[in-house]
Amino acid sequence: MDSKINSETIVAHYSSKQSTITIGHGIFNFLVCLLPYSKWDVIGAIISDRVYLLHRQTIDDSLQEINACIKGYDDTEYNKSYAYAENYFNYLLHNQFSRKSLLIGIGGGVTTDFTGYLASSYMRGIDVVYVPTTLLAMVDASIGGKVAVNIEAGKNIIGHFHQPDYIIVDTGFLTTLPVEEWQCGMSEAIKHAIIGDSSSLNLFLKREVSIGNVNESLYHCVKNSVCFKANIVEQDEFEKNIRSILNYGHTVGHAIESVFHYTLSHGEAVAVGMLVESYISMKMGMPQEDFELIKELLLYYKLLPNISFSTSDIIDHMQYDKKNIKGTILFVLLEKLGKPVIGKEVPGTLITEALNYYLTMV
């Protein structure tokens, strides 16, 4: 721990740049100490409207110290769009942002994704800092440099790889997090645990991490997840190989989101995806006890939504998945807990069977 601000720092080394991740509780109050703010000519913050409403005084005080201008953002998946971004590009131009400027995204994964897309596109790329305020954004969305916006056909179709220069992970923001947002973050943290973050898996199996409880176990879970994902991205920054394991649960999950027009949360959709893809994994050789453990975790944390859908609609939307090659739907599956495999082709009948299994159990 840093003796001055009670934090820990992880430095991720990517081919494109170095990304410094600082984790602690209450550390956003020390933003002026965490960023070399004098290196940028103009600093702007894109802030989730919901987060600003809850933490306005803290945010204003910290941003005032680094002379940052503020722009609000209604952080819905609908507004994470190519068309919606134009207003923000005009805002940057009006406020004389240059290639030496900085954008700070403060909010959940939608906000950091949208801010990253703006930063990656404006004048062919400017620096960006993330302050994730949800569990989902802390353990997943803010790490790795994938930034994107949605179009009608699907989620995250338009985007870039653009690594953040700094990420400030302040677990203090979680004290005001709604239950449904906790569940979203739990989905991604459990995903990491299932595909290889054994330290967090142990915490979940012992039920040491609980929804709404910002304690030491949660802190370690966040840190474990951050380290796990950053390590994977260091090995494969542009998702040519091993990084694809992070898409476990997402082939079905993204299709679910699209079919439901983003009315389900990302965490709920991924939880559905994890159960369905784990069922497929079991049918293709994963031990049944591993499947039962995964199902038990998802049920214990109440992550599986009670929904109904057309299996053919879900399969149709899977055609847009970025992992597909020449129209063939490819999955990340599990040989066993902690051993994911990428690029697996699955018979259509088994996909339908797995989706129907979900419908019968909820």
In angstroms, rounded to a whole number, what is the distance separating the alpha carbons of residues 126 and 48?
20
> In a 10 Å sphere around its CB, with 0-12 CB exposed, 13-18 middle and 19+ buried, how is residue 241 labelled?
exposed
Which H or E run includes 67?
none
Burial classification of residue 281, based on how many CB atoms lie within 10 Å of its CB (0-12 exposed, 13-18 middle, 19 or more buried): buried
Question: Which sign does the torsion angle of CA 329, 319, 354, 204 carry?
Answer: positive
Q: Report the candidate in 192, 123, 129 with the shortest Cα–Cα distance to residue 166.
A: 129
Taken in order 269, 305, 281, 287, the sign of the CA dihedral is: positive
Q: Which of 68, 174, 163 is nearest to 116 (CA)?
A: 163
The kind and range of the H/E element at 173 are none
Chain centroid to Cα 178, Å, comes to 17
- Rounded distance, CA 141 to CA 320, Å? 20
- Cβ neighbour number for residue 324 with a 10 Å cutoff: 13
**How far is Cα of residue 281 from the mean position of the Cα atoms in its chain?**
23
Q: Which residues are catalytic?
A: 124, 146, 188, 229, 239, 243, 247, 250, 254, 266
- Asked if residue 228 lies in contact with residue 196, where contact means CB atoms within 8 angstroms, the answer is yes
In sequence order, the β-bridge partners of residue 119 are none
3-state helix, strand, coil in the chain (%, to 5): 50, 20, 30
